[in-house]
Amino acid sequence: RAIKPLIAGRDTIGQAQSGTGKTGAFTVGCLARVDPKLRATQALILAPTRELAQQITSVTKALADFLDVKCHACIGGTAVREDIEKLREGQHVVVGTPGRVFDMANKRHLRLDDLKIFVLDEADEMLSRGFKDQIYDVFRLLPSNVQV
């Protein structure tokens, strides 16, 4: 039920039990909004942990395999230089943790000018784990017309 409003460009809150396909739903929604010809970040997905960000990246890459869409995980604990290089190449979808994503966006390595959709996965957990300020910092850098 969440895919239609996501594809239509409407702000959406998806809430369901574990194992029901939320990640697949918002990933399909993101990929439907991405223009592969535009070499710019068009979808940004924040996750509370490195592990979840890597898992979302794997799902996104698997679904995007036939669409010529690039996806990269910007997470702490990895080489910043590699993130900068990958972002310079142009990534349609960026998945990451709030701290690393904010750092990359604040330093303009992650350009958000063409962003169409912003996803907070496990938003309740991120807000309760103290990421509120970091999420707000990222949110302030987003274009005003971005879908959430």
Mean pLDDT, rounded, for 78-86: 96
User: Does any domain span residue 100?
Assistant: yes
Mean pLDDT, rounded, for 50-74: 95
Mean pLDDT, rounded, for 117-135: 89
Cα-based angle 1, 96, 147 (whole degrees, multiple of 5):
40
Q: Which residues, including other chains, have CB under 8 Å from residue 36's CB and lie 6 or more apart? A: 67, 68, 69, 92
Domain housing 78: 3-140
What's the predicted TM-score (pTM) here?
A: 0.92
User: Does any domain span residue 147?
Assistant: no
CATH number (domain holding residue 29): 3.40.50.300
User: Does any domain span residue 146?
Assistant: no
What average pLDDT does the chain have? 92
User: Does any domain span residue 148?
Assistant: no
For residue 17, the tally of other CB atoms under 10 A from its CB is 6
Token couple for 8: 């239509």
User: Does any domain span residue 28?
Assistant: yes
